Chains A and B, each alone.
Chain A
Amino acid sequence: MNRFMKVSSVLALALVATAATAQAQSANINVTANVFQALTVVGNSNLDFGNVFPGVNKTIGVTDAGAGKYSVTVGQAGANVNLSFTLPADLVGPGAALLPVGSWTGHWAATDVTSGGTTFVPGPGNEAATLSGTGLLFVYIGAQVTPAAAQAAGAYTAVATMTVAYF
């Protein structure tokens, strides 16, 4: 075998060895999730305007005795939640008479108080709130009714719904 052939053989062996040395590489990421305590929301007290007189507007504020109250009684400690409301435009009375209601007001806090927390305007949009260190939240609402001068006498009612969701 001449010198040239010897060199060729050595080079071929080196090329084969190089092609066989590709090694696996790897990299990790984590998959994470946080399961929060399921929420329990309670309607504690009705928004009660009491006696209303024709042609005389009446307002119940969040600090008044007739304010409506909701509470989150079970939730993830310290979690962020969105509050949203489905509110009536009218209370419905005798013979389908309508009593307009509006000018909604709201207050939420991690403790059962009606001041010193966060005031807001209840509505269909999200109001961000934070549960207490024990997963609680207290929400009060008020509004104003505007009876007409010829408003039919009788009892009027409607439903106001609060929805709470983690975000």
Chain B
Amino acid sequence: MNRAPPLVLALLALSVVPVQGQTSVSGVRDLAFGALPVGITTIILPTDPIKSGQWNMTSPVRSRVFFRLTLPSQLNGPGGATMPVDFRNGDAFILEVAAGAQPEYFNPGGNVNHRFTGSNQAIIRLGGRATPAPGQRSGAYSNTVVLTISNIQ
């Protein structure tokens, strides 16, 4: 009669610890281009401490989080006016909140995965560029960026 040792079964049970409930993300700051001169492209770097967009993410050390950003192609303004916005490779990074940690730049239009190694906390920053047309209608423009975690391992 084959019998697996009870200890093996216990180890199997412990190896799959659900981390989904321990991973969270929150939006903490808008990507704010501020006052834009017409006809000129304004660039916000992800390193901008005031204007860049930011999320905070928490996940257990050694977990790997897969996420993506849903980006707008335009901002919506008064009277149906629109203004193009552009996000390029390197306009975003993830940085663990740990001494000596370095930002990992990524393409904000792609799928991203990050393994938490030095900390259970990280910030995700987003920059971009906006170009009001020479005859751009004056007023406030806005849109939304969604960060979605698609998988956690």
| Cβ-closest chain A residue relative to B6 | A4
Check B18–A21 contact: CB distance below 8 A.
Answer: yes
Check B136–A35 contact: CB distance below 8 A.
Answer: yes
From A21, A31, A36, B144 is in contact (CB under 8 Å) with: A31
CA distance A23 to B21 in the complex (A): 9
Residues of B contacting A11 in the complex (Cβ-Cβ under 8 angstroms): 9, 12-13
Check B25–A35 contact: CB distance below 8 A.
Answer: no
| Cβ-closest chain A residue relative to B25 | A27
Residues of B contacting A4 in the complex (Cβ-Cβ under 8 angstroms): 3-4
Check A25–B25 contact: CB distance below 8 A.
Answer: yes
Known: A34-B139, A35-B77. A23 touches B26 (CB 8 A): no
Check B35–A34 contact: CB distance below 8 A.
Answer: yes
Q: Would you call A76 an interface residue if the criterion is a C-beta within 8 Å of the partner chain's C-beta atoms?
A: yes
Residues of B contacting A15 in the complex (Cβ-Cβ under 8 angstroms): 12-13, 16
Residues of B contacting A103 in the complex (Cβ-Cβ under 8 angstroms): none
Interface positions of B from 81 to 120, Cβ below 8 Å from A: 83, 85
Chain B residues bordering chain A, tally (CB within 8 A):
55
Residues of A contacting B53 in the complex (Cβ-Cβ under 8 angstroms): 29, 31
- Shortest CB distance B25–A (Å): 5
Give B residues with C-beta under 8 Å from A.
1, 3-4, 9, 12-13, 16, 18, 20, 23-38, 42, 53-55, 72, 75, 77, 83, 85, 126, 128, 130, 132, 136-152
Interface pairs A-B: 9 shortest CB-CB: A33-B33, A29-B27, A26-B148, A30-B30, A27-B27, A22-B20, A31-B31, A25-B149, A27-B25
Given A21-B20, A22-B151, A27-B25, 10 additional A-B pairs, CB 8 A: A4-B4, A28-B144, A28-B145, A29-B145, A29-B147, A33-B36, A33-B141, A33-B142, A34-B34, A37-B138
User: Can you sample 16 A-B contacts with CB below 8 Å?
Assistant: A7-B9, A8-B9, A22-B18, A22-B152, A26-B25, A26-B149, A27-B25, A28-B147, A29-B29, A29-B54, A29-B144, A31-B32, A31-B85, A33-B42, A35-B38, A35-B132
